[in-house]
Structure formats: C-alpha cells, structure tokens
Amino acid sequence: GAVVSQHPSWVICKSGTSVKIECRSLDFQATTMFWYRQFPKQSLMLMATSNEGSKATYEQGVEKDKFLINHASLTLSTLTVTSAHPEDSSFYICSARITSGFQETQYFGPGTRLLVL
Amino acid sequence: QKEVEQNSGPLSVPEGAIASLNCTYSDRGSQSFFWYRQYSGKSPELIMFIYSNGDKEDGRFTAQLNKASQYVSLLIRDSQPSDSATYLCAFRGGGFKTIFGAGTRLFVKA
C-alpha cells in the first residue's frame, strides 16, 4: 500500500506552547489529506479535511484558529496545535487519499502522540 | 441512528477458528466500503476495500457486501493471535469523507 509518514511520533510539551505535526505522502501525490484525533479507547474523530492549495475544511466543533492546517504541497500537510492545553493531549493521525480511476482509498500515517503537561 | 454501527465486542475466538465481524451503515448511496485493522497504540491499517455486492477474498480475509441490506462483514479464516486488534468498518460518504465505525475488538485465544 501507499506510504504516509508523520513527524514527530511523540511530543511532550508545556501548556501554552504550539506544536506542529507534519504529514507526508512518500510515494504518491495527495491533493487531499485528513486529520483525525483519537482519545484512548475511543473511535477516530475527523477534525478537518486538508486540500492542497486551498483552505482546510473543519468539522463541526473543531476550532480552526486553534488547529491550523496548511497543505502547501501535494506531499505535505501540517497541523499546528496552537497554545496547547492538557485537554489537547491525544493521538493525532493523518491520512492521505489516493485515487485510481473511480476507486479511492485512504492510507494512514503512523500517528503522533501529543502529551501536554 | 449512527452512520456506521459495529458491535464493540470484545469478540473472542479460539486460534484457528473463523472470526466474523459485522457492520451496518445508514447511507444507501454509499459505494465504497473499507475494513481497517488497528492495533493498540497504532494507527489504522487498511485491510480490504469492497465496492460491489458479494464476496471479495484476499488471503485469509473475506469481505462481504450486501447493499440491499446495508451491511458489510469481514471474515477472518484460521484466526491467529496476531489478528487480535480493533477492526474498523468504514464507508465513503458525501463530500469525500470516510465515515468510520467505532470498531470491534477481536481477541484470538492461543
């Protein structure tokens, strides 16, 4: 399958700092990437859809000014958690959409675990 | 009604048995269906996708889709302890978003 990487895999930071997470598609171009958050023992929650060259589309209840998304190239999307607080501690996972004809699938990055102290 | 319904489990099967995971969805217009496996502490991994009614086999995995009844299932033959994970059912909804179920936890006992 297609390869998606995320960096960093682990982040520990102090409350009030900003954290940037990178998501890269390594062997394909992805015009659309998705950002998810997952709390322990809960399901994936879609935060936003990141489109190359345009503004991200945020899900209801997700603060766009707190979770800044930039999709500056066809292989890179970044999520910046601004002024992080302990309640932002979670597992952040990106995915990239790949299309082949009319078929379309998503491949996930390995995730970034964020702990805000 | 949730868009995707899965039994949270845990589903426990002995090693070598067939594990059967089921999922129902609400959007009749859905055309693409997926099964992902997620090990504890890891991100989801795509196992299978299916677009047409009927069965699709890949190794020990068989996905079954019944659009009329709005259900999709995953069969795992010859289950191994390494298959123990949470299995997420998903379908592609409107706006190119993939809608995920909460997942079914599977335990395969050695």
DSSP for A26-48? SSS--SEEEEEEE-TTS--EEEE
Which two structure tokens, joined as six digits, stand for A59?
């899900």
Q: What is the pLDDT of residue B95?
A: 63
Q: In whole angstroms, give the CA distance from residue B44 to residue A93.
A: 9
Which range, of A97-106, B15-24, B44-53, averages the lowest pLDDT? Answer: A97-106
Average pLDDT in chain B: 92
**Nearest residue in B to A92, CA atom:** B43
Tell me what the mean pLDDT of segment A4-16 comes to: 96
Tell me what the mean pLDDT of segment A17-29 comes to: 93
CA A81 to chain centre: 10
**Nearest residue in B to A94, CA atom:** B43
First to last CA, chain A: 36
Which chain A residues have a beta carbon less than 8 Å from that of B103? 43
pLDDT band for position B2 (cuts 50, 70, 90)? low
SS3 assignment, position A87: helix
pLDDT band for position A109 (cuts 50, 70, 90)? very high
pLDDT at B60 over 70: yes
- Closest to B76 in 3D by CA, of B35, B23, B19: B19
Q: For A109, which of B43, B46, B51 is closest by C-beta distance?
A: B43
Residue B44 preceded by cis peptide, ω within 30: no
Helices first, then strands: H and E counts in chain A: 0, 11
Tell me what the mean pLDDT of segment A100-112 comes to: 85
Q: For B51, which of A49, A93, A103 is closest by C-beta distance?
A: A103
Q: What is the pLDDT of residue B74?
A: 97
Which two structure tokens, joined as six digits, stand for B87?
């299995």
Average pLDDT in chain A: 92
Which chain A residues have a beta carbon less than 8 Å from that of B34? 105-106
pLDDT at B94 over 70: no
Q: What is the pLDDT of residue A31?
A: 85
A97: part of which helix (H) or strand (E)?
A: strand A90-100
Q: For A108, which of B32, B44, B95 is closest by C-beta distance?
A: B44
Q: What is the pLDDT of residue B96?
A: 67
Shortest Cα distance, chain A CAs vs residue B102, angstroms: 5
Tell me what the mean pLDDT of segment A35-62 comes to: 91
Torsion sign over Cα A74, A75, A81, A86: positive
- Closest to A97 in 3D by CA, of B34, B2, B53, B23: B34
Contact A105 B45 (CB under 8 A): no
pLDDT at B26 over 80: yes
